[in-house]
Amino acid sequence: MMTPDLFDDLPDLPPPAEPVAPPAAIAPTAMPRLPGHLAAALGALAPQRDSWVEQLLADCVRALYDGDVCLHPGSRADRPADAESRLRASALVGAPGEVAPLILDHGWLYLARYQQFEQRLAEQLLARARPPAGFDPQRARAAIDHVFGPPPAAHDGQRLAAASALASSFAIISGGPGTGKTTTVTRLMAALVELGGQPPLRLRLAAPTGKAAARMSESIRQQKARLPLPPALLAQLPDSAQTLHRLLGVQPNGGGFRHHAGRPLDLDVLVIDEASMVDLALLARVVDALPPDARLILLGDKDQLDAVEAGSVFPALCAGRGLEADTRAMLATVTGQTPPDGPLPASRLGQVVAVLTHSHRFGADSAIGQLARDIHTGNGEAVAGRLAAAPAPGGDDALSAGNGTPAALERIAADGYRAYLACVHHGDEPAAVLAAFDRFRVLSAHRDGPDGVTQLNARIERALHLPADRPQYPGRPVIVRENDYALGLFNGDIGILLDTPAGLRAHFAEADGGVRHLSPARLPAHDTAFAMTVHKSQGSEFDRVLCVLPPADSPLATRALFYTAVTRARHAVCVWGDPAAARAAVMQVPTRQSGLARRLQVTPGPA
Ligand SMILES: Nc1ncnc2c1ncn2[C@@H]1O[C@H](COP(=O)(O)OP(=O)(O)OP(=O)(O)O)[C@@H](O)[C@H]1O
């Protein structure tokens, strides 16, 4: 019999709140004390203890903190050829489907819980990656024509993406900033409503963080206002997104989730934005809680940073894209356009992935767009060249670069916040102050160390002559560090302390466009937010960004981190640091160990 929640019978592991960095900080103290104890306790249960297997158990837990879901035991054995047989002899290790702390699956060793997350997620997504019941390409074509207009002469990637999502109960639309993901999904939802008939479809929008949910809501509202569609149709589209945790009904104090396979979500279509930020465990839970006939649509940018927690889920789901001949013909019918030539799918999900490549925000000659493209394609020389040729910060340039003294960095950072502080001092409405704060942001890779966000915040406060010695002052921006389900505040939410007639209050933007406030004494753990980590900035955009590069030898100096930082900027980015560090970051593409892509391969590969 199925348990209400497949994953409830396994111990939960605390996920890391943020990547641990710089490397020197990845000391034993940064690791939970649990692994060694767990290993010893569980090892004692095994009839014949093997210290190597116990070490692997500890390593599997530690690997999660590096973002890896599994590890390859052979590479950690004195005699790799004997590794599997030695593992099979241990009572700590089982095969998929067996009950054991560790699972050996196609030569990869997992903590049981994560092996289940991964296997079940792959199985469930594959089961959904097929046409919904009653799918009719001719009716779909009529709906596409209605929401997109008649097919244009030139190929339209958004039209193809929407058609592909109509034709499958599970679909992915990936694209960089401004490539039209929101536009496409708004039209797609309108087409679904048209095809849905009665009773009306229950569509829900969600995102991994409060900030991303608020942005998704705002973007969908803008698109609804802009798209030339009948008002009665637009009125049926949702425009308020919630966090995935709220959608699942997370229960306070470790009480699990209200929705799971035994009590599925009450919806027909779920659209998740910023899917690259969703980790393996959370996505597995969401998919488990979907009703059998519901549609799932993931939006995201596969080139952005992975989720902080373990797994590299979204890139793995997007890998191996391609079309079989019959799908190509079906999509030609639905779009009225011949899909461009491309490879056959290498992944069994490869036919449900659409990638939007044309940025409507950054034109071909936009400095941010060009820099982002060179980072994305790994052209380190071009990136270093662009930065070397860029003007110094201080002007109106879309791209500027600097590498000077700490005092110079502090001046630029402080200057970026002067307009915001003017709003605070004028006593502007909280919504206007929150909007002014979002016009500029300082992003850094690290939390600690020189040029880490903690130090940068203190230096910016000093440069702005803010009363940083007082714990709370009007104009202090704060970023919440942990989820508080009772208050409805989540890790990464940003608020601003402002004076009110009732005293100092922390103000937070709400997904519906409103602003709520609460006493600073009630705030969950939080930090100052003039500078924030690139990880925390995912799902947000700012008019101008000051991107402080990590040193070239930092493990966080990666292509995805640099790309994510630069693409947070709508109008201007200033890159601060050594161009050699920029080149090094572009060349560093770390891989995370995960079996998801292997499970999805058309021909399962060797272990
Ligand atoms: N086909 C199109 N033709 C003209 N303008 C478009 C088209 N698609 C999108 N746009 C415009 O480009 C801008 C970005 O679109 P949209 O918000 O849909 O992209 P996005 O990929 O969701 O962006 P992001 O997630 O980075 O905010 C919007 O102003 C939108 O109106």
Cα dist from 59 to 38, 45, 305, whole Å: 11, 19, 24
Is 178 marked as a binding-site residue? yes
Predicted pLDDT at 327: 97
Centroid of chain to Cα 277: 2
Predicted pLDDT at 10: 38
Instruction: Please give the number of the atom of ligand 1 that sits closest to the Cα of 185.
Output: 18
Centroid of ligand 1 to alpha carbon of 470 (angstroms): 42
Predicted pLDDT at 400: 95
Fold adopted by 128-360:
Rossmann fold (3.40.50)
Phi, psi of 359 (to 5 degrees): -85, 125
Asked if residue 539 has its Cβ within 6 Å of ligand 1, the reply is: no
Centroid of ligand 1 to alpha carbon of 182 (angstroms): 7
Equal CATH topology for 128-360 and 365-585: yes
**CA proximity to 15, closest of 445, 311, 443:** 311
Q: Give the residue, by CA position, lying nearest to ligand 1 atom 16.
A: 180
Predicted pLDDT at 572: 95
Asked if residue 168 has its Cβ within 6 Å of ligand 1, the reply is: no
Cα dist from 394 to 119, 398, 441, 573, whole Å: 51, 11, 15, 11
Find out whether 285 and 8 touch, Cβ atoms under 8 Å: no
Q: Give the residue, by CA position, lying nearest to ligand 1 atom 19.
A: 180
Domain 365-585 classification at class level: alpha beta
Q: In 378-524, where does DSSP find H-type helix?
A: 380-389, 406-416, 418-426, 430-437, 453-463
Centroid of ligand 1 to alpha carbon of 218 (angstroms): 13
Centroid of ligand 1 to alpha carbon of 357 (angstroms): 11
Predicted pLDDT at 604: 53
Residue that is written with structure tokens 């244009």 in the block = 152
**CA proximity to 423, closest of 441, 406, 435:** 435
Predicted pLDDT at 41: 63
Query: Looking at this predicted complex, what is its ipTM?
Result: 0.98
User: Token digits for 130?
Assistant: 């097929």
Centroid of ligand 1 to alpha carbon of 479 (angstroms): 28
Asked if residue 351 has its Cβ within 6 Å of ligand 1, the reply is: no
User: Token digits for 20?
Assistant: 């641990």
Asked if residue 152 has its Cβ within 6 Å of ligand 1, the reply is: no
Ramachandran assignment for 270, one of left (phi > 0), alpha (psi -120 to 50 degrees), beta (any other):
beta
Q: What is the mean pLDDT of each run of 10 residues along the chain (607 residues)?
A: 37 40 31 54 66 89 85 83 88 92 93 94 96 95 96 95 98 93 96 88 92 88 91 92 91 82 96 93 95 96 74 89 96 96 94 93 84 91 93 90 92 95 95 96 92 94 88 93 82 92 93 86 95 90 94 86 93 93 88 86 64
Asked if residue 304 has its Cβ within 6 Å of ligand 1, the reply is: no
Q: Name the residue ranges covered by the structural domains of the chain.
A: 49-112, 128-360, 365-585
User: Token digits for 317?
Assistant: 């789901």
Predicted pLDDT at 307: 64
CA distance 274 to 67: 18
Asked if residue 181 has its Cβ within 6 Å of ligand 1, the reply is: yes
Predicted pLDDT at 32: 41
Q: Which residues of 404-439 are buried (b: 16+ CB within 10 A; e: fewer)?
A: eeeeebbbbbbebbeebbebbeeebebeebbebbbb
Centroid of ligand 1 to alpha carbon of 285 (angstroms): 30
Is 176 marked as a binding-site residue? yes
Q: Give the residue, by CA position, lying nearest to ligand 1 atom 14.
A: 178
- Pairing assessment for the beta strands 477-480 and 494-500 based on DSSP bridges: antiparallel
CA distance 513 to 243: 15
Cα dist from 376 to 48, 268, 446, 453, 550, whole Å: 50, 35, 21, 25, 18
Find out whether 247 and 206 touch, Cβ atoms under 8 Å: yes
